[in-house]
Structure 1
């Protein structure tokens, strides 16, 4: 996709929007404003983390994804279930019933993303051992975090692990295996990811690190879940095991799983977008000096906390832990030392959407104007103006998107000053004389 064009899986239903500021205050890139009583999403700033979907009490923010009928476009269909899917079911000791139910749903084959996750973990270990890399290495698996760094923390781009996410690796391997087995060309094989969050929808439609994703569609876990529940009881007892992933791969579904699979003792794992931002700020300030690997997940609890799931993230995390208990440590390793199939095809570039102006001199002048406006505001950061903070309002004024009196405190003072001025003016006017009053009264009497 060309630079400057944007696809977003997070959308706004203006009819449902009440103009509250819940989403405005929680957006990590200040991509939302309330104008004329309705929220507006600044498309170039949005990273599709889904936080606004999570906090909107009126369900005005929605996630877009493919309908199940999209799989009918392909003669051969492969399901790519996220590890987080397994944590949505009660009393599950084995993932085979889920895999079997996916096949009963209409998929010809299931390729677990957990399998690809183990391969990516192996590639990460070899990459960190064999290359001179800038430490700490930051995981690139969470697309919302990757986009956050791209627009807000460009100095950390060199720290990002240049590896494809497991969903991309899974799609490529699944198509290769299916083509070898069926003889079909890859374009007739559809790979569909079953996603826990909208950021992964955006990662497929507008990928980073590659020109075009091998994933052909993204289904939401919450849409697939009811179908699976009804079919799991019909899955026959198989003589062989259906799952091909171990503890490491399934562990990617919750926070800390990827970092643990990297087999590094000096690692940090953080989840929840606010915690992620604090870690990135500290990394930017070089406060961490003894870390090898950093795993960051925008959703609380990791992928199990995505807004397209159905289960409470912490309950789902406990369920994944139970499933992992009965699995081997790992079932997948790289066949050789060639890491090229797993590394990015394209470098991820800084997207300067937060810059005030492309011209440095003009940007500095706008920054000066911003500081002057911010000094005249009240520092309340109340959000009543429709912007998340006084600083954001000052920026909007400089950019020409808002007026300074959008601040209700500023407007109140202006109205009060106007009222005081009218009062002083009324007091300064000369009162009418008694003769004039009598003349006016007599004229009124005559007119009656």
Structure 2
């Protein structure tokens, strides 16, 4: 696994050490040291939960800015289907795509159509799938990193099918290169993203040597310019190719919506995802064929870089699904041809993330584990996080590993 270049950033001067982010982190990747939040980079999966709960703007997301695109001769926008859910009922997907073109992109392509294409590939894969079950979608980069770091035994459950934004980026870069007669390196392919994890999946991709995307602009950053551009859009071009099948990928359950098998399960929200992965690991869900996991609540519409209330956005998506129908606009013949040509194949196996052990020496590791257990017995079990660790057990581990001082626990200090 490549070295992760995280999209989450802590701004020290704004941090008040309130521990909200520390408590929200599902992988215990945050500590508060000397009143300031610190990231343990080897544990962070860029889920954005800390970003979501921070009230002081001390946690930010390092996504692409519009000015970062200036050095590209040609600019391509690939908007997440989630973008369509962020506007009112009177704003259609085609208008949004045209507005993207108006604010400076040379080409704008409907990523939702590629989601439909991938739906067909998933169906093809599941028709011939062999154990272990359930098969798990790799659409959400946080889920993939979560499995690689916390559930490595489930890596073989991951479906080795290319995600829509990557396959679309590769295809449209090639098309633009031929159309403009310029080298692919002069073309910038940008994802319009609802969450920070898409950025880290570009900087440090899993399942491929290099991402086909050059960056990701947050929906929240581009929303204002799009609203202004929508005021006088003339719909001369039809850029929307997708039906409700592709648009539905923005909500939990959208990926399984058009699969014919009934034994599929969709789960969203990082804590619920982890609970389901625990169940899979313990062998409780072997009767499920396919598992769609999205760590943002209600799916990508709940991403931390969106602007619309996720409940309103969900209703909007449901309306668009009804409006554009649940029949895919992708021909089965074309999908089957691409599938057999290897269009959807990953080029690299997904590997477990390196995991830190208590000690490289097995005997020392056992001694440290005993030391941790003894220290946990002395602690209050209140999990107050005043020490700067998320809970008492993690505090004990940090003390034994030399990351925190035992004096940081106010309850132990009182006892002594």
Aligned-pair CA distance for 1:76 = 1.6
Query: Which residue of structure 2 lines up, in the alignment, with residue 263 of structure 1?
Result: 260
Q: 2:205 & 2:197 partners in 1: Cα distance?
A: 10
What residue is the counterpart of 1:55 in the other structure? 53
2:320 aligns with: 323
Structure 2 partner of 1:232: 230
Residue among 343, 356, 365 paired with 1:363: 365
Q: Which of 347-356 and 273-282 deviates more?
A: 347-356
Give aligned pairs, total: 411
- Work out whether residues 4 and 203 of structure 2, in 8 Å CA contact, stay in contact via their aligned partners in 1: no
Match of 1:9 in 2: 7
**Bigger radius of gyration:** 1
Partner of 1:186: 184
Decide whether the 8 Å contact of 1:45 with 1:354 is kept in 2: no
TM-score when normalising by structure 2: 0.95
Q: 2:114 is matched with which residue?
A: 116
Alignment equivalent of 2:193, drawn from 195, 202, 208: 195
Aligned to 1:390: 392
- Comparing 123-132 with 155-164, greater Cα deviation is found at 123-132
Match of 2:308 in 1: 311
TM, length-normalised to structure 1: 0.88
Report the Cα distance in structure 2 between the residues aligned to 1:253 and 1:90, rounded to whole angstroms. 16
- Residue 290 of structure 1: which of 287, 290, 297 is its match? 287
Q: 1:332 to 1:364 in 2, by over 3 A?
A: farther
Q: CA deviation at 1:289?
A: 2.9
RMSD: 1.5
Match in the other structure for 2:403: 401
| Residue aligned with 1:194, SS | strand
Go from structure 1 to structure 2 and tell me whether the alpha carbon gap of 1:316 and 1:408 turns closer, same or farther (over 3 Å shift).
same
Q: 2:258 & 2:144 partners in 1: Cα distance?
A: 20
- Contact kept in structure 2, 1:92 and 1:323, CA below 8 Å: no
Instruction: Flag the 1:290–1:373 CA change in 2: closer, same or farther, 3 A.
Output: same
Instruction: Name the CA distance, whole Å, in 2 between partners of 1:263 and 1:407.
Output: 55
Q: Structure 1: 5+ residue runs without aligned partners?
A: 415-448
Indicate if the aligned counterparts of 1:151 and 1:351 stay in contact, CA closer than 8 A: yes
Q: What is the aligned counterpart of 1:125 among 123, 126, 130?
A: 123
SS at match of 2:67: helix
Q: Indicate the residue corresponding to 1:440 in structure 2.
A: none
Q: Runs ≥4 in structure 1, deviation > 6 angstroms?
A: none
Q: Aligned to 1:106, which of 85, 104, 107?
A: 104
